[in-house]
Structures are given as structure tokens and as C-alpha cells.
């Protein structure tokens, strides 16, 4: 069955979606997006994703063309129409279509697109862990907005792959922020440490779920800046994100993290996460 896209509030087969070359998303990256997880045919943490979409849109002064309840019901319908059980939903809203000029076009209406993709849970990677490298975080100072401008993230991820690693852990002057497409947590002296949810990181939905799970099982949590030296000396480290869930980091820049294999706190959180998504 050909995938059905939701585009400008219409249901269309993928090949019938026509994006204008004048779409500001295309030449300015002028838009916001979300990636939702679908487990068992249901959107996971939909309200949290939609609230973040609203915050991102407000942050870059885009007026969402639908209220969040309408958006949610359209995305649920998208999942139903495509018969998706396990995968992701991608949703993006650009500022609209107008001849190229930096100023906001007064008449442009936002352009909305959503589609879903079958994506299996990365069980093997979650079991084995991954290698990461470190890189300077060269992004702008509104990383809490999930915008289409991902060039620095793309370059960091590609550079990591070229160096044989799964991801790049980013730092600003030695303070670890997040990775190219996920949040970063370390376990040090039994405490779970992660960068505070401020303007320097995306406020990850998976991050929030993991922190809730840690609180629920009385793992001490510190949301504070931590250094590259702390990352290197950590007992455990892992990445969190919608598609990767909780991905252990077993080496950083070629040196093992802790015992060089996924650690017990990471494992425990993975098990709790598993229970949370299976409802």
C-alpha cells in the first residue's frame, strides 16, 4: 500500500505531494518539526511532543494552522490510515510559501506536512551500546526550539560516522550539551547527571520520561552542566531519543566509558522504559 501523507490538511499518496520551491522551509530552513514514536499503533507521549511543537512555533513566531487537539487527531488518523504499528511520525510546519526575502512574508500561510515511517526498535544497538566521539557544539543559542535548521547537527553526525562512531556528543567550551540528535546522560557515583533543560539543548521527550523513571526508582538525578572530563570519567553514559530510546555509550573518542559495556543503571532504566512503552 502506497504511504498516505497528510499535507495541507489533505490525505495524499506520497507521489502526489507537491512542495513549492518557494517554501521557506526549503531555502531558509524556516520551520519547526517533531518526530513522534508509535508503539502498538499508538502515539507515544503525543501531548508532550505537541506542547514542544507549540513552544518551538512560538519561539520562531510561526502560527500553527491547527490547534493541538486537531493536530493530534490528524496524526492519529495518519497512523490509522497507514496501518502503522511500530515506527515514527514526522510532522513539520514551515512559515509558508513566498518569493525569497528574509523578512516574514505578510500573506504567507504555514505549510504543514506529516507522514509516517515503519521503524523497528533498535534492540541490538540498545543491547550492545555504541561508540561516540566528541565535537564542539557550534549551533545557535535556541537549541530548545526544534527547528528545521539542522546543518550543524548534520555535519556533527556525519563527522562522527566518518570517524567510525554512531554519534557526536557536543560540548560548548568543555560543557557537554547533548548529541547531534539525542540527549546525553551520565551515571557518576550512583547519580544520573544531565544538562539542564535550558536554551542550549532540546528538551527531549525521552529525556523527560527517563528522568521520571529515575525519580520513580529513587535514582538521584542532577540536572546540571557537566564537563567532558566528567563524561570521560563516568561509570556509565547513554543517549536518549525518540528513535534510539536509551542507547548506551560504551566508548568516547576511542576510550571505554566505565567497564566499556552497558552499565547496571542504564540497564535498569531500559527495563523501566520497556514497561512504560508497553503500557
Of the ranges 114-122, 213-221, 241-249, 256-264, which one interacts with ligand PDD (CB under 6 A)?
241-249
Yes or no: say if 248 and 238 are a contact pair by the CB < 8 Å rule: yes
CA torsion 234-135-252-173 (nearest 10°) is -30
Among 87, 129, 241, 258, binds ligand PDD (CB under 6 A): 241
**x/- track of binding to ligand PDD for residues 243-272 (CB under 6 A):** x-----------------------------
Stretch that binds ligand PDD, among 108-116, 176-184, 186-194, 265-273 (CB under 6 A): 176-184
* CA 163/CA 166 separation, integer angstroms: 9
Residue 124 buriedness (CB in 10 A; 0-12 / 13-18 / 19+): exposed
Contacting ligand PDD (CB under 6 A), which of 156, 165, 185, 205? Answer: 205
Nearer to ligand PDD, 97 or 207 (CB): 207
* Site for ligand PDD contains 147 (CB under 6 A): no
Considering only residues 28-47, where is the footprint of ligand PDD by CB under 6 A?
Answer: 35
User: What is the phi/psi pair of residue 123, to 5°?
Assistant: -65, -40
Alpha-carbon dihedral 20, 26, 31, 36, rounded to 10 degrees: 90
HSE of 150, CA atoms in CB hemisphere, 13 A: 18
Q: In this complex, which beta carbon is closest to ligand PDD, that of residue 149 or of residue 243?
A: 243
Catalytic residue among 72, 120, 146, 191: 146
- The span from the CA of 181 to the CA of 178, in Å, is 8
253: which residues sit within 8 A by CB, 6+ positions away?
Answer: 132, 133, 134, 232
Span from 75-83, 105-113, 238-246, 261-269 in contact with ligand PDD (CB under 6 A): 238-246
Question: Which CB atom, from 24 or from 139, has the smaller least distance to ligand PDD?
Answer: 139
Is 72 labeled as catalytic in the residue annotation? no
Nearer to ligand PDD, 23 or 178 (CB): 178
Q: Are 133 and 160 in contact (CB under 8 A)?
A: yes
Judged by CB under 6 A, which of 112, 147, 240, 272 binds ligand PDD? 240
Amino acid at each position: 500500500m502506497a504511504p498516505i501523507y497528510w499535507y495541507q490538511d489533505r490525505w495524499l499518496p506520497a507521489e502526489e505531494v507537491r512542495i513549492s520551491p518557494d517554501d521557506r522551509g526549503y531555502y531558509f530552513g524556516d520551520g519547526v518539526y517533531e518526530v513522534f514514536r508509535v508503539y502498538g499503533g499508538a502515539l507515544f507521549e503525543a501531548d508532550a511532543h505537541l506542547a514542544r511543537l507549540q513552544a518551538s512555533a512560538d519561539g520562531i513566531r510561526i502560527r500553527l494552522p491547527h490547534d493541538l487537539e486537531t493536530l493530534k487527531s490528524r496524526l492519529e488518523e495518519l497512523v490509522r490510515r497507514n496501518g502503522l504499528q511500530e515506527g515514527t511520525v514526522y510532522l513539520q510546519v514551515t512559515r509558508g510559501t513566498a518569493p525569497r526575502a528574509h523578512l516574514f512574508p505578510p500573506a504567507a500561510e504555514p505549510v504543514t506536512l506529516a507522514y509516517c515511517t515503519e521503524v523497528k526498535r533498535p534492540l541490538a544497538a540498545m543491547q550492545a551500546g555504541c561508540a561516540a566521539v566528541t565535537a564542539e557544539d557550534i549551533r545557535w543559542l535556541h537549541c530548545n526550539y526544534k527547528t528545521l535548521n539542522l546543518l550543524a547537527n548534520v555535519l556533527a553526525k556525519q563527522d562522527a560516522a566518518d570517524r567510525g562512531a554512531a554519534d557526536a556528543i557536543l560540548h560548548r567550551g568543555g560543557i557537554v550539551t547533548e548529541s547531534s540528535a539525542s540527549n546525553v546522560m551520565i551515571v557518576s557515583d550512583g547519580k544520573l547527571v544531565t544538562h539542564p533543560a535550558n536554551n542550549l539543548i532540546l528538551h527531549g521527550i525521552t529525556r523527560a520520561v527517563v528522568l521520571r523513571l529515575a525519580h520513580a526508582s529513587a535514582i538521584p538525578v542532577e540536572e546540571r552542566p557537566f564537563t567532558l572530563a566528567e563524561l570521560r570519567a563516568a561509570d556509565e553514559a547513554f543517549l536518549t531519543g525518540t528513535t534510539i530510546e536509551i542507547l548506551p555509550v560504551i566508548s568516547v573518542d576511542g576510550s571505554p566509558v566505565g567497564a566499556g559495556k552497558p552499565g547496571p543503571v542504564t540497564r535498569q532504566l531500559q527495563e523501566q522504559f520497556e514497561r512504560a512503552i508497553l503500557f
